[in-house]
Chain A
């Protein structure tokens, strides 16, 4: 199979079968050679994913679109020196997480915007409740340390396994499990101790 015929470039892995590894090597070589058409294709594939990831990390943060643009620019820059040691999806996730840290630091506590129309339920009351739930979760998440928050978002919201998340954060599986346990305990405590969480911002 050639790169042009590959259905997705994002998940090509260096630990996959020989044919896929060769495709990844070719992809890395062409990206380093600044193949603009290929870079654009990769960015187009990545764009919805990066937006979704960033939304999971920041919630409906007022600077969400700027954070997405920032992450995408950083990814575009990194593509020029992509060596294929990990998949493009892993590279992009790492950059997205790093960028989300910056936006968290900039706005010490993010202020999510109303999100009612993004939830699938058709009932307006349910949407309002869902919006409040989202705000509450993201305010609680914003009070966690960076790595704990990232670990929790990757596993609990994005549904990655602990091993996949550990690879993205470049930590051991045991460290990942520890981060997840602590994050969950912190969030339970925060939600239990502060009924007004999400409304006092």
Chain B
């Protein structure tokens, strides 16, 4: 028998840890919830893809028509959603008569100068991202509590909350001029804030940021500030601007309701409410709900930190529960040990002491702290002489 065959024999007989019925129920319940949420996301992606393809085709046809030779300046247009790429055309720096107006489904308005070459990478309330490849564009950005608006050029990344500004991508660099609000510009490791009335030039390659004055869309931008592009905005389907009524409604939700939201897959809403409570110092059980919601959103690392934080704030038995879950989620053994300590999960009387001692022994082995591991194994065997991990603990002591 070859060595490989011997190893295979050992592998075939190995089974994972046994789980309790409660753990199995919890895992299956979580899978059902997450599965439903993922299915909904899958349906949304399919819809978005279908809409994007349709919109992109329509927009491409319209843009081709608009930038084609021999046409008059087109009327302002509106796009719904998706990827739109304007074909580059002959530059006409003298005037900005040929312009393309787009309105994103998020309520943001974009105006591209003739010859501007850009792409809408994402147009959801959670992420609005435009890539400007060349030419100049005006951005009239709707404030959103859910995510910033990003513009990327080859030289700079511009992040805004809600404002009116123009970006001009030129061979020599990118020029940003702010008419309302403020934007953050990142160029390599440098990050600068530009306020209303200021402008900035970002050179191609390595170079220093400097002020510039040229801007082909300046007049449009001034008009946009004054009139918000002259027509009233329609509210997007999901309100981007935090409404006055939302906090009141959120505050009235009970912890049981919020837990129900997490179970139903509405974790983002649950997270918002839980955070509001925690910010007001109302931590029990909201700190735990905040962590649960983050976990529901798949934010594993943030959830691990939130559980550890909750363990330091909550009374028993939620303290132990939070500490143990945080320890399970942390990727580094040190952080897991810290979570177990903060939650006092291994203390005598803790409902999770047996599992915490077993986990601690495994973590200490990974860290090579064999002396402490043996001590934990001794504690385990003293407290749980018939425990499910007793043989493992006996082996640890024997090897020591």
- Interface size of A by Cβ–Cβ distance < 8 Å? 56
Chain A contact residues, majority secondary structure = helix
**B189: chain A residues within 8 A (beta carbon):** none
Known contacts A47-B27, A75-B35; is-contact A117 B395 (Cβ 8 Å): yes
**A81: chain B residues within 8 A (beta carbon):** 39, 42
**A44: chain B residues within 8 A (beta carbon):** 24, 28
The CA of A75 and the CA of B14, in the complex, are separated in Å by 24
Stretch in contact with the other chain, from A1-9, A22-30, A108-116, A168-176: A108-116
**B12: chain A residues within 8 A (beta carbon):** 157, 159
**A54: chain B residues within 8 A (beta carbon):** 16
Stretch in contact with the other chain, from A12-20, A66-74, A83-91: A66-74
Instruction: Decide if A184 is an interface residue (CB 8 Å cutoff).
Output: yes
Question: Using a CB-CB cutoff of 8 Å, which residues 177-195 of chain A contact chain B?
Answer: 184, 187-188, 191-192
CB distance from A200 to the nearest CB of B (A): 14
Question: Using a CB-CB cutoff of 8 Å, which residues 123-174 of chain A contact chain B?
Answer: 124, 127-128, 130, 133-134, 136-138, 140, 156-157, 159
From the candidates A40, A56, A73, name the one contacting B30 in the complex (CB within 8 A): A73
- Asked if residues B6 and A133 are in contact (CB atoms below 8 Å), the reply is yes
**B42: chain A residues within 8 A (beta carbon):** 77, 81
- Asked if residues A114 and B31 are in contact (CB atoms below 8 Å), the reply is no
The CA of A60 and the CA of B16, in the complex, are separated in Å by 7
- Asked if residues A74 and B38 are in contact (CB atoms below 8 Å), the reply is yes
CB distance from B298 to the nearest CB of A (A): 9
CB distance from B104 to the nearest CB of A (A): 29
CB distance from A92 to the nearest CB of B (A): 12
The CA of A56 and the CA of B8, in the complex, are separated in Å by 10
- Asked if residues B391 and A124 are in contact (CB atoms below 8 Å), the reply is yes
- Asked if residues B15 and A55 are in contact (CB atoms below 8 Å), the reply is yes
Known contacts A47-B24, A69-B27, A116-B395; is-contact A76 B36 (Cβ 8 Å): yes
The CA of A87 and the CA of B366, in the complex, are separated in Å by 40
Cβ-closest chain B residue relative to A62: B366
Instruction: Decide if A39 is an interface residue (CB 8 Å cutoff).
Output: yes
**B389: chain A residues within 8 A (beta carbon):** 117
Instruction: Decide if A118 is an interface residue (CB 8 Å cutoff).
Output: yes
Cβ-closest chain A residue relative to B391: A117
**B226: chain A residues within 8 A (beta carbon):** none
**A115: chain B residues within 8 A (beta carbon):** 14
Cβ-closest chain B residue relative to A187: B4
17 contacts between A and B (CB under 8 A): A56-B11, A59-B11, A60-B16, A66-B300, A72-B35, A73-B31, A73-B38, A76-B31, A76-B32, A76-B34, A77-B42, A114-B362, A114-B365, A130-B10, A130-B14, A134-B7, A157-B8
Residue numbers of A with Cβ under 8 A of B are: 36, 39-40, 43-44, 47, 51-52, 54-56, 59-60, 62, 64-66, 68-69, 72-81, 111, 113-120, 124, 127-128, 130, 133-134, 136-138, 140, 156-157, 159, 184, 187-188, 191-192
**A-B contact sample (15 more), CB < 8 A, given A117-B391, A137-B8:** A40-B28, A43-B32, A55-B14, A66-B300, A73-B34, A77-B39, A80-B35, A81-B42, A111-B366, A119-B13, A124-B391, A133-B11, A157-B8, A187-B4, A192-B3
Residue numbers of B with Cβ under 8 A of A are: 2-4, 6-8, 10-17, 24, 27-28, 30-32, 34-36, 38-39, 42, 300, 328, 362, 365-366, 389, 391-392, 394-395, 398-399
The 10 closest A-B pairs by CB, nearest first: A76-B35, A73-B34, A77-B38, A72-B31, A137-B7, A117-B392, A133-B10, A80-B39, A55-B16, A77-B35
